[in-house]
Structure 1
Amino acid sequence: MTYKQAQSIYGIQGRSTVLTWLRKHGKMDWTTNPRKSTMPKSPRANETPAQKIKRLEQELEDERLRCLLLNRVVDILDAEHGMSLRKKYIAKEQEAFKKRRK
């Protein structure tokens, strides 16, 4: 029962009266509709394993192409503009850091 229904059924004029009563005695979650709270089924839920594999392989190929493109852009920036965007890994410093932690 919503607070508006309680007001009309029992003839209560003030909204705060109903809200106070609900805080003390009732369930406060009257705003959500249980019918609306269920998530709609995704179109992927009805996929067969073969369809899922095909979709995942396509997504993997797209990510590989994206990675290739971004690496190529970074290479061009390095060559033409002298910008170094790649993370520099220095093995000696890494080993020294590990020794200090021991």
Structure 2
Amino acid sequence: MKDKPYVKRTQKDYTLSFKLKVVEEVESGLLNITQAANKYGIQAKSTVRDWLRKHGGLDWEHKSRLPLEKSPEQKLLELEAKVRLLEKQKASLEKKLEFTDKKAIIFDMMIDIAEDELKIPIRKKSLPQQLIDSKLNKKKG
């Protein structure tokens, strides 16, 4: 098996949302620093440590488990990353909704064509008798 060639990366190669995701996984205890570096192909554990110091909510400098207060800039960057993520999710859902709407229209057209050509009613135009009977029984009772 060939080793992957060494590719020098810079901090600009990683998005803020990616860094925050890694930091969150380490701080929540899902991964340790080494596991995070291996899972995400981050070449140095020190890179993950730097992200923890810069973006994390714990005091990693002094090995304290007390949460640090985030600076307004950090809060703003996190919120901007969340907004971008939500905007992407919204756009994706809007595309899916548009596709589903078009699909429903096409199915309606297919049913109309089938009803015309086969001369049989495919759509139910009234409630089933069983449902009508149960509604009448509820009114009487």
TM range (shorter): 0.3 to 0.5
Give the structure with the higher percent strand: 2
Radius of gyration: which is bigger?
A: 1
Which of the pair has the greater relative contact order for Cα pairs under 8 Å at 6+ separation? Answer: 2
Structure-2-length-normalised TM-score: 0.34
